[in-house]
Amino acid sequence: MKKKTARISATLLAGTMICSLLAGCSGSTGGSTASSEAASSEAASSAASEEAPAAGEYEVTAPITIKWWHAMEDQYSGLVDEVVKGFNESQDLITVEAEYMGAYKDVNEALVAANAAGSGLPAVVVANTDYVAAYGESGLYEDLTPYIAATGYDVDDFADGLLVSAQYDGKQVALPFLHSTQVIYYNKTMADANNITVPTVITDMDAFLDEASKATGGVALSIPGWDQWYFETLYLNEGVKIITDDNTCDLDSDAALAVTQKLQDWCKSGKAMWCFGTDASANMRQSFYDGKTFAVMHTSSLYNNYVDKCDFEVGMAWYPASTTGSKNSEVGGCVVGIPSKNDQQTKNAAWAFLQYLAGKDVNMKWAEGTGYLPTRKSVLETDEGKAFLEEKPAFQCIFDNLDLVNPRIQNAAWSELATTWKNYMNEIMGEGADAVQSSKDMVVEINEILEDSAS
């Protein structure tokens, strides 16, 4: 491929160059998921109407090598290599080196440590969506608003909820990257043979668990306990805010306790399994692969993995609607941003690569090669987007509910709150602790965390 010469402007990468590269291809603080549509693309695009810096401020003018820290597991290494190679060969100044850092928590720990040390920072780094608020508040992530304004980068094409997930306090501190949502994978072959349907309303779950457990002779549903994101939606849809408007926790409210007790009842019956501890995810998946578990609650990003590993047809269903009729879900996966302590030349190179990673063509490569969702609205109307749905018809349940995929709760104390919540839930579900008393004890602890964070 003939390399482009001279200078690389971020504007060029946002436009002509990106189109030629690759053909065919878990804000506001507080207790609710990021609120209105006005807070989404409007927050980023409104910045473009302000006095913008000159695009030249973000040009790359000399050869530079930069690092990209990611969390893409080994099965995606070929795709990562292909994307990075495509970018490196598209121009002659920036060389990107991709480095796998482990799970999102591992990336976070390494990034926080490097930021504190002031050295060893990558130029570009992914972050789970629930880290955005902390990174935005601390200034760890660069504010991309002036970059967007100067280069005219199109952010309005991103799905609104996904764009909000990369914002903090009205600033675009990252870009949507690899996003997913919660789904239920189920053994469709077994379901068809036994006339079992995954329920669309939560009130039908008890009957479903009875039927599915008889079909497997054991577990009907596995629930991930290692990440609160998987069960968090069940609470939000029942009207539980988790963090209220006055910055306190309501996980001991009547509505929250009803959800907790119902989950515990399912686990006590043996029809549902709460998965936590060492290798919880791997063990849960293996039980499903082996046909010992009828269904699992998991991330849509692992669709390819489930299909490849199972010798039966894998179905995918939306979470059942709550007793209130709500069937919203939350965005998962990660955003991609630029550490703010880097020098400007590194940031400029990072911005060029960032636009490439989040561009429409490359976004379809991620969607096709993984189970992650297309992040751009226009992609769904392209031939590639239509072909994607034809190849993976199970995704229809997600496409039918795309407007119900909401941003995550954004609060600087969220990470610590979530860890505390997971620990208590594991005691309730896995060790049989009293659901009511444990929830009340947990809320006392979480309220202290929220108070400390606000002070």
CB 144 within 8 A of CB 92: no
Tallying the residues shown for the chain, one arrives at 455
* Burial 186-207, CB ≥16 within 10 A → b, else e: bbbebbeeeebebbeebeebee
Vertex 167: Cα angle to 58 and 18 (nearest 5): 45
Residues 6+ apart with CB under 8 A from 105: 128
pLDDT (tens digit per residue) in 137-195 = 999 999 999 999 999 999 998 888 889 889 998 999 999 999 999 999 999 999 999 99
Distances (CA, A) of 347 to 178, 265, 308, 320, 405: 21, 52, 39, 43, 31
Q: How far is CA 148 from the centre of its chain?
A: 22
- Per-residue pLDDT tens over the stretch 414-441: 889 999 999 999 999 999 999 999 999 9
d(CA 284, CA 279): 8
Q: What is the pLDDT of residue 270?
A: 96
Distances (CA, A) of 173 to 14, 145, 219: 18, 7, 42
Model pLDDT, residue 53: 65
State the burial class of residue 332 (Cβ atoms within 10 Å of its Cβ: 0-12, 13-18, 19+).
buried
Low-confidence ranges of the chain (pLDDT < 50): 1-50
Q: Both tokens of residue 413?
A: 């104390």
Of 187, 158, 161, 214, nearest to 288 by C-alpha is 187
Give the three-state DSSP class for 274: strand
Residue 10: per-residue pLDDT: 36
State the pLDDT at residue 434.
97
* Helical axes 414-431 vs 435-454, angle rounded to 10°: 170
Beta bridge partners of 197: none
What's residue 54's pLDDT?
Answer: 72
- For residue 156, the SS3 value is coil
For residue 321, what are its two tokens? 């609607």
**Residue 323 bridge partners (DSSP):** none
Element (H, E) at 187: strand 182-187
Pairing of strands 64-70, 94-100: parallel
> What is the pLDDT at residue 55?
65
Strand order across the beta sheet in which 272-275 lies: 272-275, 219-224, 293-299, 182-187, 314-317
